[in-house]
Amino acid sequence: MASSQDPGFAAVYALQARIEISRYWFQSADQDTLGRAEKLLDQARDLDPEALEIHLAEGFFHYWGQRDYAQSLTAIDHALRIAPGDADTQALRGLVLRRMGRLKESVEWLTAAAVADPRNPIHQIELAIMTLRSGNPAAARGRLVKALEIDPGSAYATTQLARIDVETSGDLSAAEARLRDIPVENWIAKPFRWWLAIARGDTAQALTLSGVGDNFDSPSAQIYFHPAMLRGLALRAANVAQGARSAFDQARRELQADLAKRPDDGNRLLALCMVLNGLQERDAAAKVCAKADQLRAPDAWALSNDFRNLARLIGGDRMGALEGVEQRLSQRIGGFPLRYDLNPLYSELHAEPRFIAAIKLYREVMGEAL
């Protein structure tokens, strides 16, 4: 084969490895997919171990495939020594640092990527997200508008603009209107659209969205969005106690059946942690939650942080949930909109003085627009 003789094919293998790693990260945590990526990387190294594309792919592999941020940064830095101005490598460094909770450094590297490749809409979007978290919603909105000029159909940019509507003004209707042209099964918009339905009190829409499209089961979130779990949360938010219990009970049975085949699946364990708390089975929940916490990788950005905190609250740990809210608001980063004051699932904390103070401080830090 030509690929066994031509060093130029190292980049091809590395790109194929990135595709497999992306499939693992965003679609399903399948170990066979990760194995194919590792094999492709080995083939690439045999052809040209110093190819930029290999070290970039290794950065993705250690980040998306193994949650080893230190090793990912080592590969990224090697790539930057080969090509200091490579925008994709700069952006990846910013994304890894974001997961590590290093907000300022993340912004610096994402800014460098957007400057190096200003026509890449993803670089503009990721920088916009961090610009918002840095307290500049107007600049974030401008970045997203630019991303949509480059890629007018971007569901990612449109969803982030809708998030800014919520973050800055609490305008749930405006946010929903932005998403009107995005198909309901779109996996990028679906979690936020579900949250909007909960916040707007549209239980019917939340229940519909709970079962629309593919189940979101990716390492990027660190939680399995089991449809019955989502239905249970929607019904709990609407104070439909018996319906919520039935949904949580269904989720428990199905998750336990899954976990019998893969007992160390942290995403499903966290979902089971949630539903057991929803069922008020606190002793069983405590064991499952502890194992889920042990298996979840440290991650300042993952959606799992917000759902783990919610599991505490619905399980009766009000103070633990309140501390979690304070921590998330003080960090100012996360993949979900941090508008706990608009979320009926947090209604029992809304009158707590510490909760009110945390929301007030968050608004002050994030800017007057809030």
How many CB atoms within 10 Å of residue 254? 18
Both 21 and 72 in a single domain? Answer: yes
Looking at residue 169, what is its pLDDT?
A: 86
Both 112 and 140 in a single domain? Answer: yes
Model confidence at 30, in pLDDT bands (50, 70, 90)?
Answer: confident
Average pLDDT of the chain is: 92
pLDDT, mean of residues 192-209: 95
From residue 233, how far is each of 19, 301, 324, 343 by CA, in Å? 34, 22, 19, 11
Out of 133, 165, 182, a domain closes at 182
pLDDT in tens, 143-154: 999 999 999 999
Query: Looking at the domain assignment, is residue 201 inside a domain?
Result: no
Out of 182, 208, 234, a domain closes at 182
pLDDT in tens, 279-337: 999 999 999 999 999 998 889 998 899 999 999 999 999 999 999 999 888 887 776 65
The CATH number given to whatever domain includes residue 131 is 1.25.40.10
pLDDT in tens, 38-88: 999 999 999 999 999 999 999 999 999 999 999 999 999 999 999 999 999
Handedness of CA 322, 328, 332, 338 (dihedral sign): negative
Handedness of CA 222, 228, 231, 236 (dihedral sign): negative
Query: Looking at the domain assignment, is residue 169 inside a domain?
Result: yes
Confidence check: pLDDT of 368 > 60: no
Both 128 and 111 in a single domain? Answer: yes
Query: Looking at the domain assignment, is residue 223 inside a domain?
Result: no
pLDDT, mean of residues 234-257: 98
Both 99 and 121 in a single domain? Answer: yes
Instruction: Give percent of the chain above pLDDT 70.
Output: 94
pLDDT, mean of residues 20-29: 86
Looking at residue 370, what is its pLDDT?
A: 52
Looking at residue 97, what is its pLDDT?
A: 97
Model confidence at 214, in pLDDT bands (50, 70, 90)?
Answer: low
Identify whether the C-beta of residue 228 lies closer than 8 Å to the C-beta of residue 248. yes
Both 102 and 76 in a single domain? Answer: no
Out of 84, 104, 130, a domain closes at 84
Both 106 and 77 in a single domain? Answer: no
Model confidence at 2, in pLDDT bands (50, 70, 90)?
Answer: very low
Looking at residue 331, what is its pLDDT?
A: 81
Both 135 and 174 in a single domain? Answer: yes
Query: Looking at the domain assignment, is residue 237 inside a domain?
Result: no
pTM value is 0.92
Both 32 and 48 in a single domain? Answer: yes
pLDDT, mean of residues 25-40: 88
Looking at residue 336, what is its pLDDT?
A: 61
Query: Looking at the domain assignment, is residue 302 inside a domain?
Result: no
Confidence check: pLDDT of 3 > 50: no
Number of domains in the chain: 2
Confidence check: pLDDT of 250 > 80: yes
Looking at residue 168, what is its pLDDT?
A: 85
pLDDT in tens, 75-103: 999 999 999 999 999 999 999 999 999 99
Looking at residue 361, what is its pLDDT?
A: 87
Looking at residue 213, what is its pLDDT?
A: 63
Q: Find the domain containing 99 and state its range.
A: 90-182
Identify whether the C-beta of residue 130 lies closer than 8 Å to the C-beta of residue 110. yes
Query: Looking at the domain assignment, is residue 67 inside a domain?
Result: yes
Looking at residue 1, what is its pLDDT?
A: 39
Both 51 and 110 in a single domain? Answer: no
Query: Looking at the domain assignment, is residue 284 inside a domain?
Result: no
Residue 370 corresponds to which amino acid? L
Model confidence at 178, in pLDDT bands (50, 70, 90)?
Answer: very high
Query: Looking at the domain assignment, is residue 294 inside a domain?
Result: no
